Structure 1
Amino acid sequence: MDLLGPIVEIILFFWDPISRHIGYFKDLNNNVETLKRKTKKLKRKHDEIQAEVDDAIPVGKRQKALVENWLTEFRNTENQVDSIRLELALRRICTGHSSRYTLGKRVVEKLEDIKKLNKKLKVKGVFHEVAESSRHPRVLEKQTSLPRGQQSTSERTLEEIWQCLNEEENGIIGICGMGGIGKTTLMKEINNRCTKTRNFDVVIWITVSKDLNLGLIQEEIGNRLGMKFDGNEEKGDKLFAWLKNLRYLLILDDLWETFSLTQVGIPKPDKQNRCKIAITSRSVTVCNAMGADKSIKVRALTPEEAWNLFCERCGDVVLSSEIRPVAEEVAKECSGLPLAIKTVGGAMHGKDKKEVWRNALRALKGASPEVPGMERQVFLPLKLSYDSLENDNIKSCFLYCSLFPEDHLIPIDELVRYWAMEEGFIENVNNLEEASNKGHDILERIKDACLLEKGSHGNKYVRMHDLLRDLAIWITSPSSSIEGSKFLVKAGEGLVQPPEEKMWRGVVRISLISSKIKHIQITPDCPNLISLFLNQNNQLCTIHSNFFELMPKLQILDLSTTCIESLPMSLLQLVNLRVLILRYCIDLVEVPPLGNLKELQLLDLSNSGLKNFPQGIASLVKLKRLDISWTSFTPIPYTMIYGLPSLEELRTMGRNGHVDRATFSEAVNMKRLRSLSISVSNLNGFIAHDMFHQWFSGLTSFHVMVNYTPFVPVSNKHISIGECDKIPCGIEGLIKHAFSLDLYESIGLTSLSKFQGDLKSLRHLRVSECSGVECIIDWREVGDDAFQCLQSLDLQILPNLEKVFDGGVPPPLNASLQNLRRIWVSHCEKLRSLFSSSMVEQLHQLEELTISECFQMKEIIEGDELPHNSFPKLRFLILDDLPKLESICSQRFMFLSLEEMEVISCPKLKKLHLFCSSIHQIKGKIEGKREWWERLEWEDENAKSLCSTIYKEASSEVEEEDSSE
């Protein structure tokens, strides 16, 4: 009996674990059913909690950490349970005791895990509210220092961006501009402004920068939302699931390349979700490729704004009478670029020595990085834009623009010709037309990268921002450590002597444009020189006879607008010369025989003083472009010119350049000719020529001047007819090929109705000083397709013009005038109205209307019934010196799209048809007597107060003139 107790204890000690292990084997099926039941029950609780979390996230809350951990633990446990069930299903019947035992043990362990998860659900307060206030505020404010002022450039741009973000149709907005212009600063202001509104549930700021990393963008968006990603979780899907329930503003700052919003997990903004994406980029192309609904260009600061910001950075030192004049010049060199202003201003803070300021000015003018911080903080950031250009050719084209003077309007056609003629710039093209097309494409790419700006004269010029020009000069400076071609650029600096000879050696391009050099008496050694620009040295009269001897690689030589009388014989040693420009060399009387310049492709002698045609041109078998317009050659050897086998462009315009029928008959055999400018005195012989129409229609551009007209062509296919007693016979056959037509001093012309269908391709029409013209078009006499392409109509000094359009209105299905965008009428003394009210419906594309000095005009629109929403696109309206004008129209209507208006000296005008919503930012000028202003009638009472900002009381001299009318 004494041994029985210990034996029982031993048996009991081992029985519990033994029975548990037996249970793994014996109770497997029952345990599995229990596990399935309890897991399913707990899954319902999991789904309820997850739904509460999903509802809380869009209102700015975040799930509690314990709740997040519980949800994760349950999902892991559920996955393991599913694995056990799958294994059982595959085995169907477990016959192996070892396998049955292992599964049974795993099932019991999972039952224990479920028990623990249930226990955690009962922790007091944790699951009562599954989410709490987020640590991530709706908007994270950012430090910023925007240049202030109600009407400042920055404030106006800021308001434009804010307005775009609040317009329903704009989902994605691009904010473009060169580096350092202030794009990021503006968007920081937008970000901070969102703290005062409830427009967005969350504002997310992502700085993208040069190296695009989509994973990092996803992580940053996730962090901003308080999300956490599992290691093997699909980030894009999870981001999309979160963001689709939010009204978000996503700011992508400094984007350099495009990416797929879908791939990242960003729902595309639309009118339904009212989300917005704002992109700042140096590339317009990137913004467009990202689907920007609107792009906004950030402009440089005005001189006044720039000076105020500069003073703020420099301190009171700039206010001293000794420092201020130099400081103003230093600030000016920063060219309105906030980055440069802040950098230079900070470097000059507290500097009270005039000599130090003058040294800084010298360094800035020479694009030298001597000013502290200039290289690291200005040039290197700007150089990122240059580095991002697609290839070396485009980079070379950008650098080439620095050869022109500061603030210079660079003619696009001229620039492209240089590129086309220089080896390696524009390649894989067959002719000048293809080269021009490719050159324009390159320019657009550079402009899209915000490294060039559109010039102020339409699409014919580009402009280089001064700091970007400094960047290019810095990159190409002989002292720069950056590899590549070296330039010597002194354009526009007022040099009176050419640079020292040692400075010429080793450089590839030299620009001394717009200098004051009178004599060049050096013979520089320039073994690598390719381009030499001496143009616009209007005092340059002599060049050393040996000047060109040591320039074996020279390809471009521009001596235009100089006072040289002759060229040295050393010119003939330039055997690789491709471009020779002697335009506007009015004192030039002779040039050496040019036959030795076998590589010459462009020769421009236009407006030069040469009396005799240069010898040797017949040997220039590679010559592609010849311009001898407005020269005094008598006679012009047309037969020899027409024999040049490579000629693609020929310009012979001028009073002395008339082509006769005999010589013109040979021109039609010039197979490569694509562009022609000629003067003729008699069209009859040309029109009758058998091959004329076929050959003429094959030209890509032409300008035919019949007699003399003073106007510049406005299209690439232009006819101008001047000083004619009657319209030349057969002119209709010529006009049908033209896009623009000038008629000047053509006395015999009474209207254009006679041309009938030949006007259907015309885009621009200008009629001036034609005293016989009484009507431009009589709709009863012309075909249905007349003027269907017309875009601009310019009528000047037509003393007998009584009607612009007569004969009612074009038929309803007529396409006439449907594309007319601009009308300009001046000095038409008998004209009493411009068009009838029934014609207004034809003018739905009209954008600009200018009427001046038509002294008998009483109303613009004659008649009573105007169509609904008349002139829907009219943006510019100018009414100047119309003493008898009483009304624009007798019927009530409003200009709803007007942006700029001038009303000057119209003392009898009774009403301005303006509506306040259309003129809240109107520009222009209203000028007249105070009494006239006070009695003006308005369609909208608020319009007068809005227009008062542009009203100016007429001077006494103007009042006296009005009284005398």
Structure 2
Amino acid sequence: MDLWEIILFFWAPISQHIGYFKDLNNNVETLKRKTKKLKRKHDEIQAEVDDAIPVGKRQKALVENWLTEVRNTENQVDSIRLELALRRICTDHSSRYTLGKRVVEKLEDIKKLNKKLKAKGVFDKVAESPRRPTVLEMQTSLPRVQQSTAEETMEEIWQCLRDEENGIIGVYGMGGIGKTTLMKAINNKFIRTGHFNIVIWVTVSKDLNLGLIQEHIGKKLDIRFGDNEDMAEKRDRLFTRLKNVRYLLILDDLWEAFSLDQVGIPKPDKQNRCKITITTRFINVCNEMDAHKKIKVRTLTHEEAWNLFCERCGDVVISPEIRQVAGKVAEECSGLPLAIKTVGRAMHGKYKKEVWENALRALKGSSPEVPGMERQVFLPLKLSYDSLENEEIKSCFLYCSLFPEDYEIPIDWLVRYWAMEEGFIKNVNNLEEASNKGHDILERIMDACLLEQGYEGNENIRMHDLLRDLAIWITSPSSIEGSKFLVKAGEGLVQPPEENMWRGVVRISLMRNKIKHLDITPDCPNLISLFLNENDQLRTIHSNFFELMPKLQILDLSDTGIKSLPMSLLQLVNLRVLILSSCRGLVEVPPLGKLKELQILDLSQSRRIKNFPQGIESLVKLKRLDISETSLTAIPYTMIYGLPSLEELRTMGRNGHVDGATFSEAVNMKRLRSLSISVSNLNGFIAHDMFHQWFSGLTSFHVQVNYIHFAPDSLSNKQISIGECDKFPCGIEGLTKHAFSLYFYKSKGLTSLSKFQSNLKSLKHLRVIECSGVACIIDWREVGDDAFQCLQRLGLYHLLNLEKVFDGGAPPPLNTSLQNLRIIRVINCEKLRSLFSSSMVEQLHQLEKLDISFCIQMKEIIEGDKLPHNSFPKLRFLKLDRLPRLESICSQRFIFISLEEIHVSWCRMLKKLPLFSSSIHEIKGEIENNREYWEGLEWEDEKAKSLYTRIYKGPSLF
């Protein structure tokens, strides 16, 4: 190699390095120009891809990689340009050299990208037919046996997904109930339908990660996100792709709501016909995600649960020796598929009866001894418990386990206990606020599907057996968290647990057992609550029984047979709640003056107590006193009125009357908010200057003028009952104006409601019973335009001289009376010939239920023949029973457009049954000589007859 070659050999790299420094400005301009040109080509190809995706194609991998590389290169060029701008073409030689080198490297990258772009055939077609199906089949564990509950729920979900009105569907229920299994089956059904362009399944789980949701959706759409793409960029790409695709997105196991916009999911509507289905344990997640339809997944029926259990156990349950105990083991799973499968799997191949009986014992005792119960049942269920917002709400959930299995827990009773216990309901000023907060806490627990509404209505709640087992497991002595409970409720105990079991626990429930004697002195230094109620055979309590319970706050001895209370009760100086209701053998209560912390005292329905407990005047913290339905004599009302903290007072009963003059002193009770009392007369009762102001400040009351054995109306918190008044006392009208519910019983002095009507503008419920002087309820000529405008329920019973319910023709044109009336019941009013005039039917546009029974003179329901258009638009239930002279509903035929259920019994003269639309689903009746009556009916046409015959649920017609 000669000298010149040597010089060239070394000069080439040297000149290149000099170029980094010297040609920086020119190279930057070249980079800008080539990057801009490359960006235009990128956008053209991306547009081709976006056009191809909605028609079911997927972009080619090489194209996707190229587009990603271009975006990454653009980001790096932007970084270089930003750095140059900040350095203002820096004079620092080292930095200038480094930037110059990076610019040249990016020019080389662009050259390579352009070379790939020109490669033969690569970019001729940017998209191709998808390699994966639009719906991926999922393995599902739906049992082979018939599952009517699951099938019904699946059908409901399926119909919602096909209904254009429902864009977002929420499927909710407790953990382990089968939500995911149902949705997997739904997913698989779409394989055969082609209903959606694509079905996307995303399992979300407890820790919400929006970026991960984007990745899952992107993967299903064949979108490959670059490493440097942030959430906003991914959002825009997902939205662009999904906005032209008819998709079904299934978000499984969602624990908290999120914004669809933030992820890039177009909201489903009628135009795009897309759907989103979420499965969750929390109904509030459905609400926060704006679900148009919410579907609760129910537990299995007894038969379904047994079939599933047998499927998991195998032929071992065929054995006659095993079958009976196996049935009881299956019942302990309480219809929860997760528990049924786990226990069934654990008992597979177990042919010894002793093993089955041991499993039954463990399940009854809420013990996780059965293999798999702790890991596969309790721990997954506990996730819902762990998700509760704070320790206060968790404690309330655990508290519900103190009641027996399948117990209907009264909500008011429950929150009242919570209000009293330290650490449960804090930061409230009175019982009403505590109750409100308690209801709010219950709603939060129910939203998490950890509690359910009771069978008897929304006044009670229930705890699923497996969730009760979970709570007992959490509070068991072996647990490392939570307060320790001893729960033996409803287990048939005849003896109390051994004394060593009492030590160290915070709450004990022995309610609903058969314990006869408490002849022990347990050492319970930490005990706060003790439930001994509903031990109806309990007779005696050891004199020292309460001696070693220094922290006890709640003691419930209701519904027991105790005859006396031991003096050690008076050592419970921290006691806040003492429940002695329905103690049928209890004759006397010891002096209670030492119980300075007592806030609730309940002696109601302990009918043998005659003497008022001594020392009540010392209970300055007493908030609730209930001595209703007792045999107490000489009740010291003046002493009671002097209790400074009293908020609720219940004294109603035959022996609890208070005269009006004495009761007028009650206005001095400044904190009183709830009152239940019998008043023997009204003299001086309403005369007090402050009475109306004080009375209107009560949040609830039940006042009886003369004692009537009526329980408070569960639908109204302000009730007045007036009984056996031949002559109404002065001031009665002023008292009734405060009422939401008004009952008249055996009051001969009542002829109509005209004298009350001006004071009944807020009345919601009216019941008139056995008032023989009543000839008319409402006379339109005497009432104002707004009388009875809030009335919702009207009940008329055994009014033997009632001739007209409504008299005086039609209401005035602007009259708003009865505009909210929903329910009418008329029973045994034997002189009543009709119920309404045709002209007043227009007032009854909210009427939903009409029950007319035992009115032997009634000939027609509606008198007249000019009914308004669309009469009774909301009537759903019609009952006509024992109306022997009833000939027609109305002389003018019309259709009940909303009728769902009709009962017709013993109406021999009624030849034309009411007409109804297709909304009806049940017809019932007990008609004598069915065949003869049926054949004597007159029909509008054969279609009407056919519809009645198909739906009729009475005795066989043929």
Alpha-carbon spacing, 1:167–1:855, altered in 2? closer, same or farther (3 Å): farther
8 Å contact 1:894–1:939 — kept in the other structure?
A: no
Alpha-carbon spacing, 1:635–1:468, altered in 2? closer, same or farther (3 Å): same
Alpha-carbon spacing, 1:806–1:276, altered in 2? closer, same or farther (3 Å): farther
Match of 1:952 in 2: 953
Alpha-carbon spacing, 1:7–1:451, altered in 2? closer, same or farther (3 Å): closer
Distance 2:91 2:332 in 1: 91
Distance 1:566 1:698 in 2: 39
8 Å contact 1:910–1:935 — kept in the other structure?
A: no
Match of 2:702 in 1: 703
Aligned residue identity for 1:713: P
8 Å contact 1:680–1:706 — kept in the other structure?
A: yes
1:102-141 to structure 2, matched below 5 A, reads 120-121=116-117, 123-141=119-137
Match of 1:651 in 2: 650
Higher mean Cα deviation, 139-148 or 85-94? Answer: 85-94
Q: Which of 567, 570, 587 lines up with 1:569 in the alignment?
A: 567
> Secondary structure in 1 aligned to 2:664?
helix
Match of 1:586 in 2: 584
Match of 1:486 in 2: 484
1:186 correspondence with 2:190: no
RMSD: 3.6
1:207-356 to structure 2, matched below 5 A, reads 207-233=203-229, 234-356=233-355
> Secondary structure in 2 aligned to 1:743?
strand
Match of 2:913 in 1: 911
Distance 1:257 1:229 in 2: 25
Alpha-carbon spacing, 1:352–1:806, altered in 2? closer, same or farther (3 Å): farther
Shift of 1:797: 2.1
Distance 1:10 1:569 in 2: 117
Match of 1:420 in 2: 419
8 Å contact 1:148–1:154 — kept in the other structure?
A: no
Q: Which of 142, 148, 151 lines up with 1:152 in the alignment?
A: 148
Match of 2:758 in 1: 757
Match of 1:819 in 2: 820
> Secondary structure in 2 aligned to 1:685?
coil
Match of 2:57 in 1: 61
Match of 2:364 in 1: 365
Shift of 1:23: 12
Shift of 1:332: 1.4
Alpha-carbon spacing, 1:868–1:571, altered in 2? closer, same or farther (3 Å): same
> Secondary structure in 2 aligned to 1:676?
strand
Aligned residue identity for 2:917: F
Distance 1:217 1:838 in 2: 62
Aligned residue identity for 2:804: K
Alpha-carbon spacing, 1:205–1:725, altered in 2? closer, same or farther (3 Å): same
Shift of 1:10: 11
8 Å contact 1:454–1:463 — kept in the other structure?
A: yes
Distance 1:473 1:92 in 2: 71
Distance 1:28 1:622 in 2: 87
Match of 2:514 in 1: 516
1:611 correspondence with 2:610: yes
Shift of 1:137: 2.2
Match of 1:3 in 2: none
Aligned residue identity for 1:914: F
1:680 correspondence with 2:682: no
Distance 1:29 1:660 in 2: 105
Distance 1:516 1:21 in 2: 99
> Secondary structure in 2 aligned to 1:485?
coil
Alpha-carbon spacing, 1:843–1:276, altered in 2? closer, same or farther (3 Å): farther
Higher mean Cα deviation, 148-157 or 507-516? Answer: 148-157
Distance 2:5 2:482 in 1: 95
Match of 2:834 in 1: 833
Higher mean Cα deviation, 845-854 or 484-493? Answer: 845-854
Deviations for 1:713-733, whole angstroms, at most 9, x for unmatched residues? 221111001122233332110
Distance 2:239 2:816 in 1: 50
8 Å contact 1:136–1:225 — kept in the other structure?
A: no
Distance 2:389 2:97 in 1: 67
Higher mean Cα deviation, 516-525 or 851-860? Answer: 851-860
Match of 1:963 in 2: none
Distance 2:464 2:939 in 1: 44
Distance 2:221 2:945 in 1: 50
Q: Which of 180, 195, 205 lines up with 2:201 in the alignment?
A: 205
Match of 2:168 in 1: 172
Q: What TM-score does the superposition give when structure 2 sets the normalisation length?
A: 0.91
Q: Which runs of no fewer than 5 residues in structure 2 stay unpaired? A: none
1:718 correspondence with 2:716: no
Alpha-carbon spacing, 1:736–1:134, altered in 2? closer, same or farther (3 Å): same
Shift of 1:905: 4.1
Match of 1:857 in 2: 858
1:598 correspondence with 2:596: yes
Match of 2:553 in 1: 555
Distance 1:96 1:545 in 2: 97
Shift of 1:808: 3.3
Distance 1:698 1:267 in 2: 51
Higher mean Cα deviation, 929-938 or 880-889? Answer: 929-938
Distance 2:16 2:532 in 1: 103
> Secondary structure in 1 aligned to 2:215?
helix
Deviations for 1:266-291, whole angstroms, at most 9, x for unmatched residues? 22223332222222221122221222
> Secondary structure in 1 aligned to 2:745?
strand
8 Å contact 2:623–2:646 — kept in the other structure?
A: yes
> Secondary structure in 1 aligned to 2:684?
helix
Match of 2:463 in 1: 464
Distance 2:15 2:427 in 1: 88
Distance 1:621 1:83 in 2: 76
Aligned residue identity for 2:776: C
Distance 2:319 2:252 in 1: 40
Higher mean Cα deviation, 947-956 or 302-311? Answer: 947-956
Deviations for 1:38-60, whole angstroms, at most 9, x for unmatched residues? 87777665444322210111233
Aligned residue identity for 1:327: A
1:619-658 to structure 2, matched below 5 A, reads 619-658=618-657
Match of 1:768 in 2: 769
> Secondary structure in 2 aligned to 1:787?
coil
Distance 1:518 1:817 in 2: 56
Distance 1:104 1:567 in 2: 97
1:71 correspondence with 2:84: no
Aligned residue identity for 2:193: T
Aligned residue identity for 2:486: L
Higher mean Cα deviation, 607-616 or 452-461? Answer: 452-461
Shift of 1:604: 0.9
Distance 2:18 2:518 in 1: 112
Distance 1:840 1:638 in 2: 50
Match of 2:374 in 1: 375
Alpha-carbon spacing, 1:838–1:326, altered in 2? closer, same or farther (3 Å): farther
Distance 2:577 2:124 in 1: 84
**Count of matched residue positions in the alignment of Structure 1 and Structure 2:** 949
Alpha-carbon spacing, 1:400–1:83, altered in 2? closer, same or farther (3 Å): closer
Distance 2:221 2:199 in 1: 10
Deviations for 1:881-915, whole angstroms, at most 9, x for unmatched residues? 44444444455554444455444444535234332
1:195 correspondence with 2:188: no
8 Å contact 2:830–2:854 — kept in the other structure?
A: yes
Alpha-carbon spacing, 1:778–1:21, altered in 2? closer, same or farther (3 Å): same
8 Å contact 2:532–2:558 — kept in the other structure?
A: yes
> Secondary structure in 1 aligned to 2:271?
coil
Shift of 1:597: 1.3
Q: Which runs of no fewer than 5 residues in structure 1 stay unpaired? A: 1-5, 960-965
Match of 1:51 in 2: 47
Distance 1:518 1:94 in 2: 97
Match of 1:143 in 2: 139
Shift of 1:95: 14
Alpha-carbon spacing, 1:421–1:39, altered in 2? closer, same or farther (3 Å): closer
Match of 1:407 in 2: 406
Shift of 1:702: 1.0
Distance 2:96 2:531 in 1: 93
